[in-house]
């Protein structure tokens, strides 16, 4: 069985993929880039990598028998040192530097194309772990109100418009007002902003607000699929929200049982629509 290459960023997602591979007996190898702390690597084969040395990484993956790769976890735009480029890095530098000036979807698409140009197949995390995909329904004890549903519709319109220009995958809306937008800083930063900047809503007894996450229009679903987990609900609760809304079959839930338990504990709803 060929090795699956896991291009690991921060967060729980790459660990879940690696652990799932181990559970199923799937050979796998984790790529750890400089500056990314993976404190869960014990028991998993790994390859150290530097952003400036893609040629070295490609050779190491092929030597390890990797033909398919998947990308999981957050990964910021690195500060590249031109003095460290290998020959492949020098050749690809103009493409990579231009990509880093684009939105996340465009950047990740170009990175995926570079792997494909080297003969690797790129798959989405949901293809490696289909059980992570959110199924349709209201999965919590708490239920969205009619006002929450209207806020979700408004948030979906906003995220769709933002996604068309490759900006973000999430928005917070309460009583029809947009309280926060996801940008390159990510969902957690948006929710912290909402928590630290309480809005003066028209109706103090009206809806508390919802977080909605959905893919961008035309998004390559192999790359940067929207994801939520227990910490999403902790942050949404701290921001005073009523619940979280995500797209069915197009959102990853990282640890479903723990996520639902956290939502129920905090009295928030999870609506997968």
**What domains are defined for the chain?**
3-130 (3.40.50.20), 133-272 (3.40.140.80)
Helical H runs in the chain? 13-24, 54-63, 87-99, 104-117, 125-128, 146-163, 187-196, 230-238, 256-266
Predicted confidence (pLDDT) per residue in 99-117, tens digit: 666 655 566 777 888 899 9
Give Cβ neighbours of residue 123 (< 8 Å, ≥ 6 apart): 68, 69, 70, 222
Predicted confidence (pLDDT) per residue in 217-269, tens digit: 878 888 878 999 999 999 999 999 999 999 999 999 999 999 999 999 999 99
pLDDT of residue 93: 85
Low-confidence ranges of the chain (pLDDT < 70): 1, 99-107
pLDDT of residue 232: 97
> How many CB atoms sit inside 10 A of residue 249's CB?
12
């Amino acid at each position: 069985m060929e090795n699956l290459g896991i291009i690991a960023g921060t967060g729980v997602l790459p660990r879940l993929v690696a652990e799932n591979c181990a559970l199923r007996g799937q050979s796998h190898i984790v790529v750890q880039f400089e500056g990314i702390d993976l404190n869960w690597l014990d028991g998993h084969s790994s390859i150290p990598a530097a952003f400036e040395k893609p040629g070295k990484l490609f050779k190491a993956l092929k030597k390890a028998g990797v033909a398919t790769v998947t990308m999981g976890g957050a990964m910021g735009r690195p500060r590249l040192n031109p003095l460290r480029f290998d020959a492949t890095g020098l050749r690809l530098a103009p493409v990579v530097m231009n990509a880093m000036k684009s939105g996340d979807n465009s950047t990740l698409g170009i990175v995926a194309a570079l792997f494909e140009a080297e003969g690797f197949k790129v798959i989405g995390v949901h293809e490696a772990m289909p059980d992570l995909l959110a199924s349709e329904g209201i999965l919590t004890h708490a239920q969205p109100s009619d006002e929450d549903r209207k806020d979700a519709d408004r948030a979906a319109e906003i995220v769709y418009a933002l996604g068309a220009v490759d900006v973000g995958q999430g928005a917070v809306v309460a009583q029809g007002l947009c309280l926060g937008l996801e940008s390159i800083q990510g969902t957690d930063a948006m929710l912290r902003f909402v928590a630290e900047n309480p809005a003066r809503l028209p109706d103090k007894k009206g809806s508390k607000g919802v977080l909605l996450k959905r893919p961008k229009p035309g998004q390559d679903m192999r790359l940067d699929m929207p994801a939520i987990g227990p910490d999403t609900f902790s942050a949404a609760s701290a921001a005073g929200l009523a619940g979280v809304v995500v797209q069915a079959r197009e959102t990853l839930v990282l640890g479903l049982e723990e996520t639902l338990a956290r939502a129920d504990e905090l009295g928030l709803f999870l609506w997968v629509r």
